[in-house]
Structures are given as C-alpha cells and as structure tokens.
C-alpha cells in the first residue's frame, strides 16, 4: 500500500476504533465483537509501524481507551493502570520472549501466566489495612472514584488481615451463570438486555447510585500489586500468594512457568478449559515474574514492555444443519434454533445454536440439510457464519416461520418494524413468568411484595401457572418461601386481595396487550367503561378512538378474541377482580391543556409515577420536546431533551418545583 492510501486507511481506522471504543468503554454498549475490534487495531498498528511518521498521539494505539464519566470524582492513579498489547499467534509469544531475553541478557525467563478476565479494571487503595478508595482505570492516568459502589461487592475486603499500605489492581466481573440469570430477569421485566458480561459489569459499577450497583451480582479477582509499602518481594507470583494470605480474592487461574515453552503450554491449557471457567475469558496474560527485570524492561506510555496478552483466535468448523426448530422465549419471541450434527468447538460440543430470526435465515440463505460453517469467538454463543453452497445436493429444504405458537397454538405475529415473530397467547406456558411479573408490577396491578424473585419461586414450585392463580394462592404456600414467612405471607395475601378493587385501567394495563401501556389503558377504560364492553368492541370502533390508531386497535381486537384471553378474564371475574370503570367524579384539572416532557432520573418518583400524577391533574406527557411543550421536568443526568427545552425557551422544572405544583 502506498503512503497516500495508507494515510487514508489510517484515518478511517482511527475514526472506527474511536467510535467502537467509546461504545465499549464509555457507553458499555458494544456494537462489534472483541475479535472484530482487535483486528481493526492490529491493522492500524501494522500500518503505523510501516509509516511511523503518520503516528498521532491521539491514536488509540498510543493511549488507553475510556474516559471519566460525568458525575464521578476524578482520581489520579499513583501508578498508571496501563493496557496490554495483544498478540494472536504463538510465534508472537516467542518473539516477545526473544526481545525480553535480549534486553535483560538472560538465557531463560520465568513467567507468570494468568487467564485474562473479561471485566472492568479497578485500583483498590488500603491504608493501614483499611479500604479507603477504589477507582476505575479510566484513561489509565485518571479514573473514576467508585469507592461507594465497590464497597457493595462482598469479595472486596473492607479490612485486610495485615495493617499494610497497599494499592492493588483487579478485575470486576459478572460470572457466566449470574449473567445469564440477570439477562433472563431483564427480559422478563421488559428491560434492555446486556450485550455481554463485561459490559454488564462495567455498567453496574459505573452507576451513580450505589444502591443500584448493590443489586447486581458483581465479583472481583485481584491480579496485580500496584504499590506496596516496604515491599519485601521480588516475584510477582509470590506477591499474588501474599495477596491471598491477607484476604484478597486472587485470580484462580495462574501458574509460574520456567521459560517460554512452558508458558506456551499453560496458555494452550487455559484455552482448552476456558469453557468450564465460571468467568468469561478470551485470552491469557504472560508476565515477566521477576520485578527487577520489569524495571529493566520498563514501559511505553500505554503498555508495559514486560507483559503481553495472547488472544485466542475464533475457531471455525464445518457441520450439517440437520433441522430448524422454534423456541418461545419469556416475552413470546419465537426464535429459530439450528439443530446441528454435533461438533467439538472451542472446548465444548456444539449441537444447536440460535438463528436469531427469519431475516437472519434469509440473509445467510440457510436451508435444512446445508453444510455450514460454525464459529465461536471468545465466550460468545456459537454462530452460523456461512453456507458451504458447493456441497448442496438439491435435496435441502427451505424453512418457513410458523404462523402459530409452537407451544400454545396462539397466533404468532410479526409487526412492522420488528425482526421477530411473537406469540400473543396470554396463558402460553412459555410466557407465564413474564406475563405474571408484568401483571403484578407497578405498571399493572401493583401488588406490593409480589416481585420477580417471589414469582419465580412460586412458578418453580408449580403454584403459579397462569395470572389467575395469583388470586387462589394460599397463605401457607407463600409462607413456605421464606424463613419465618408468616408476616410476609399475610401482607402479600392482603395486597393481592386489595388489588381486586383496582380501577379498570390498571387491569387493562396489567394484561400486557401489545402497544397498550398505562396511558392507553386509561383511554380504553374511560371509553368503554367495562371489560365486557371492551372485549366486544369492533376493530373499527377501537381505531376511531383518539390516540389509539389502527395498529393498536388491531392488537387489542385480536387479543380479546383469543380463547386464552376469554378464559383468563372469566377466571379473574370468578376471583372477584373488578371489571368496571368507576363513575366519573369531580377532578382537579390544574394541568388541563398542559403537556409535560420528563427527562433524567427523578429522586422521589419513577417516570410512570410522575406521569400518573400529571394525568391525574388533567395534563398530558410526551416523549419529545417541541414549542407546544408546556414544561420539561428534569432530573439527574438530563440529556438532549433538557438542551432542546433551553433552546426553545420551554419552562424547565426541578423536582422541588414540581412538588410545589402538585401540593
């Protein structure tokens, strides 16, 4: 490549890597895999090596990715938290060893090899054995003070077994099992799922409210001494043993190796067991063990010259796509799954994998009976990369997504703008956890005490199979869930009974009809006055209601004309759940004609609670700011909506001012 072309490509690569790094480090929302990002960085590093005069100090090859998030105090690291240079071949490891031996004059080097934990790097500072401060890596020089959040992690000792002054470096992570459980809960609660465990850990640790961090299953492994007062050690491995002795949770996958070939064997061994590890890892780190030799080797601005990270390459294998079956997720999403001729891939046997949706199948031109290439990069789910079309015989079969749910037989609907088909059966067994959780939530019947964890236990015990079962629970069933659970059971039974008297709009919202939220539910309740009237409404009459529209009308009509829905409503009626809208009373309409936009995090109210108050006083809420907006209610971390309000001269309310208005 000539210099002009190289300069153009370097510019493209810098823009791409900076964009993806911001998504990964700052927004905890990656858009490409780690391997794809690594390959871009390798290409950029190679071009800069070929044309060193084109190197720029702002290139990510010259600095650590990540910035300090607004809202956190800045911490200047006493010892920089550097990143490691990645290599992708065994030969690169031998070249690293050759350089180390040449620069130190040693014939053979002792190395410590450790599994590379996929998490967020932090520094922990102790004074006289007491934990006093913790910070994220940030840009390596300056990080974020997340002490309060780190104190919520049970495996970070608050007091060490010795009164030492020490700074250590560790990796905060979420285990594979906890990550799967957390994402399953996010899905049921209809909240955004996390792309991977690393970003889930980073997002959890960088919460401005430590109470939110405390709810996340964060863990930590320590892997380095940054500074130790009166350090008596000259071996990194001995330091790790000392850290364990004084109370730290140290990386369990570590080994001292004599010479590079021994280190390579350990790296290869970690590669074979990484599937079985409780935490995610996509590589291994090799470090010079002798601390004096580290001083000789030194560091660059970005990386130490005494350590390097080996990244395991994604493994690809060919197999046969034997069949495609459909699974129904907890939100009703129907996902096609590939049934494969079993193959050994990246340390585990793969016999099935997700095909995401029908668009994915179409884009890959997949047919049942095809020979396909499967890839697994790091610890992600195996994926079908491509079809080996040259091996087609003509006997392969096309796959067609079903029009009905394979579990309950209810209609399977794919709406405009969506990639997935969904079961809309209210009593579908595959959806029961999600349906029950939503029904009991604040946006539904608001049954105090009946949250996700309790519902999950009741479902697992077979005590809740449909929504209506809530109203037939026995006190003894609930009490058995907790030690000394009598009082809890009494309170929950009382809350369940109280919910029978909820307004009609609460019940409509609780049913989880697609496109119907709390606002639309109020409109329907006000229009039809009773559940029977709503169930008998035609699609045309529904579509003529202001703020409903054709798509929502179709969704409501189809929902109430399913046998499952009719059956559920009958059961709820028998249980004594209110099906009528209360007679209109005189209302305080102080916000009549006013439109509010909510932005940021409020301290006293959730968004739904604030919206409910506004609507109770005759006002409306909107998702966007315009000249017609009356007020913008702004909480912490208010973003672009606040900026637009200021530009348009719209009145901005603090939470305290809002409180005054609703007194």
Architecture in CATH for domain 595-661 = 3-Layer(aba) Sandwich (3.40)
Give the pLDDT confidence score for residue 197 in this predicted structure: 84
Superfamily in which the 315-391 domain is placed by CATH: Nucleic acid-binding proteins (2.40.50.140)
Q: pLDDT of 570-582, one tens digit each? A: 999 999 999 998 7
- Weakest-pLDDT range from 43-52, 276-285, 612-621: 43-52
Q: pLDDT of 628-648, one tens digit each? A: 999 999 988 777 888 899 999
- Weakest-pLDDT range from 296-310, 351-365, 568-582, 625-639: 625-639
Give the pLDDT confidence score for residue 139 in this predicted structure: 87
Q: pLDDT of 455-468, one tens digit each? A: 999 999 999 999 99
Which residue did the predictor score with more confidence, 608 or 238? Answer: 238
Give the pLDDT confidence score for residue 396 in this predicted structure: 95
Instruction: Supply 482's token pair.
Output: 């907790």
| pLDDT > 70 in the chain, percent | 95
- Given pLDDT bands bounded at 50, 70 and 90, which one contains residue 29? low
Task: Determine which helix (DSSP H) or strand (DSSP E) holds 160, and give its type and residue range.
Answer: none
Token look-up 């608050």 returns: 158
Domain spans of the chain, in order of start = 3-54, 74-311, 315-391, 424-575, 595-661
**Residue 65: pLDDT above 60?**
no
pTM of the model: 0.68
C-alpha torsion angle, residues 593, 595, 601, 606 (rounded to 10): 50
Give the pLDDT confidence score for residue 66 in this predicted structure: 56
Q: What is the mean pLDDT of the chain?
A: 89
What does the pLDDT average to over 70-81?
86
- Weakest-pLDDT range from 82-86, 204-208, 494-498, 556-560: 204-208
Helix (DSSP H) and strand (DSSP E) numbers for the chain: 24, 22
∠ CA 566-572-578, nearest 5°, is: 115
Measuring CA to CA, which residue among 357, 413, 409, 404 is closest to residue 551?
A: 413
- Given pLDDT bands bounded at 50, 70 and 90, which one contains residue 68? low
Contacts of 597 (CB under 8 A, 6+ apart): 621, 622, 623, 624, 625, 629, 631, 632, 633, 641, 645, 650
Rounded to whole angstroms, the maximal C-alpha distance in the chain is 91
What does the pLDDT average to over 558-564?
93
Superfamily in which the 74-311 domain is placed by CATH: DNA ligase/mRNA capping enzyme (3.30.470.30)
Q: What is the CATH number of domain 424-575?
A: 1.10.150.20
| pLDDT > 90 in the chain, percent | 59
Measuring CA to CA, which residue among 582, 577, 443, 613 is closest to residue 499?
A: 577
Which residue did the predictor score with more confidence, 69 or 428? Answer: 428
Which residues carry out catalysis? 116
- Given pLDDT bands bounded at 50, 70 and 90, which one contains residue 67? low
SS3 400: coil
Fold of 3-54: Helix Hairpins (1.10.287)
Instruction: Supply 288's token pair.
Output: 């010079």
Give the pLDDT confidence score for residue 585 in this predicted structure: 55
Give the pLDDT confidence score for residue 535 in this predicted structure: 96
Q: pLDDT of 109-154, one tens digit each? A: 999 999 999 899 999 999 999 999 999 998 889 999 999 999 999 9
- Given pLDDT bands bounded at 50, 70 and 90, which one contains residue 55? confident
**Residue 414: pLDDT above 80?**
yes
Q: pLDDT of 493-548, one tens digit each? A: 999 999 999 999 999 999 999 889 888 999 999 999 999 999 999 999 999 997 78
**Residue 624: pLDDT above 80?**
yes
Task: Write the burial class of residue 233 (CB in 10 Å: 0-12 exposed, 13-18 middle, 19+ buried).
Answer: middle
SS3 613: helix
Q: pLDDT of 94-117, one tens digit each? A: 999 999 999 999 999 999 999 999
Which residue did the predictor score with more confidence, 55 or 492? Answer: 492
Give the pLDDT confidence score for residue 334 in this predicted structure: 94
What does the pLDDT average to over 553-558?
92
Please report how many Cα atoms fall inside a 13 Å half-sphere around the Cα of residue 353, on the Cβ side: 25
Residue 177's φ and ψ, nearest 5 degrees, are -65, -45
- Weakest-pLDDT range from 56-70, 122-136, 215-229, 456-470: 56-70
Distance CA 50, CA 33 (A): 26
């Amino acid at each position: 490549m000539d210099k002009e072309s190289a300069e153009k490509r370097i510019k493209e690569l810098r823009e791409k890597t900076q964009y993806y790094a911001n998504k990964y480090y700052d927004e905890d929302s990656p858009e490409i895999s780690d391997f794809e990002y690594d390959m871009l960085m390798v290409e950029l590093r190679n071009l800069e090596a070929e044309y060193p005069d084109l190197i720029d100090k702002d290139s990510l090859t010259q600095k650590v990715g990540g910035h300090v998030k607004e809202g956190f105090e800045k911490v200047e690291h006493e010892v920089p938290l550097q990143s490691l240079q990645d290599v992708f071949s065994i030969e690169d490891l031998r070249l690293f060893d050759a350089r180390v031996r040449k620069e130190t004059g040693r014939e053979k080097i002792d190395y410590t090899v450790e599994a590379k934990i996929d998490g967020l790097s932090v520094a922990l500072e102790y004074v006289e054995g007491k934990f006093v401060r913790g910070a994220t890596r940030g840009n390596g020089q300056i990080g974020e003070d997340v002490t309060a959040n780190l104190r919520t992690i049970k495996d970070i000792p608050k007091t060490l077994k010795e009164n030492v002054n020490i700074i250590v470096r560790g990796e905060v992570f979420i285990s594979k099992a906890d990550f799967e459980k957390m994402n399953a809960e996010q899905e049921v609660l209809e909240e955004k799922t996390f792309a991977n465990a690393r970003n889930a850990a980073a997002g959890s640790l960088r919460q401005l409210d430590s109470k939110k961090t405390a709810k996340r299953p964060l863990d930590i492994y320590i892997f380095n001494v940054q500074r130790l007062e009166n350090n008596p050690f000259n071996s990194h491995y001995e330091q790790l043993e000392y850290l364990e002795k004084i109370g730290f949770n140290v990386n369990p996958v570590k080994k001292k190796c004599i010479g590079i070939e021994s280190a390579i064997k350990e790296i290869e061994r970690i590669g074979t067991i990484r599937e079985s590890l409780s935490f995610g890892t996509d590589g291994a780190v090799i470090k010079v063990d002798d601390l004096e030799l580290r001083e000789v080797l030194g560091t660059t601005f970005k990386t130490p010259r005494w350590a390097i990270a080996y990244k395991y390459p994604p493994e690809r294998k060919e197999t046969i796509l034997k069949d495609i079956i459909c699974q129904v997720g907890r939100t009703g999403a129907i996902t096609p799954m590939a049934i494969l001729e079993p193959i050994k891939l990246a340390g585990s046997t793969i016999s099935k994998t997700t095909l995401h949706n029908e668009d994915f199948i179409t884009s890959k031109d997949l047919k049942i009976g095809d020979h396909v290439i499967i890839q697994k990069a790091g610890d992600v789910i195996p994926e079908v990369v491509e079809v080996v079309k040259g091996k087609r015989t003509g006997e392969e079969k096309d796959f067609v997504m079903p029009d009905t749910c394979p579990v309950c037989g209810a209609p399977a609907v794919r709406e405009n703008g969506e990639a997935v088909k969904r079961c809309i059966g209210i009593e579908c067994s595959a959806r029961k956890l999600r349906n029950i959780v939503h029904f009991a939530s604040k946006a539904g019947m608001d049954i105090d005490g009946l949250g996700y964890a309790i519902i999950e236990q009741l479902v697992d015990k077979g005590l809740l199979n449909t929504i209506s079962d809530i109203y037939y629970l026995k006190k003894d069933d609930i009490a058995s869930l907790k030690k000394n659970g009598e009082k809890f059971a009494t309170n929950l039974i009382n809350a369940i009974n109280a919910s029978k008297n909820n307004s009609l709009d609460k019940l409509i919202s609780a049913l989880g009809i697609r496109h119907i939220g709390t606002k639309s539910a109020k409109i329907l309740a006000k229009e039809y006055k009773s559940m029977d009237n709503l169930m008998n409404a035609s699609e045309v009459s529904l579509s003529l209601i202001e703020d409903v529209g054709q798509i929502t009308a179709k969704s409501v009509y189809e929902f109430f004309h399913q046998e499952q829905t009719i059956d559920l409503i009958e059961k709820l009626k028998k249980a004594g759940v209110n099906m009528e809208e209360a007679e209109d009373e005189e209302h305080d309409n102080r916000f009549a004609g006013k439109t509010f936009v909510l932005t940021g995090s409020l301290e006293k109210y959730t968004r739904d609670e604030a919206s409910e108050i506004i609507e109770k006083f005759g006002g409306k809420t909107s998702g966007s700011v315009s000249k017609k907006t009356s007020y913008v209610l702004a909480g912490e971390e208010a973003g672009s909506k606040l900026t637009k309000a200021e530009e348009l001269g719209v009145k901005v309310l603090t939470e305290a001012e809002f409180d005054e208005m609703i007194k």
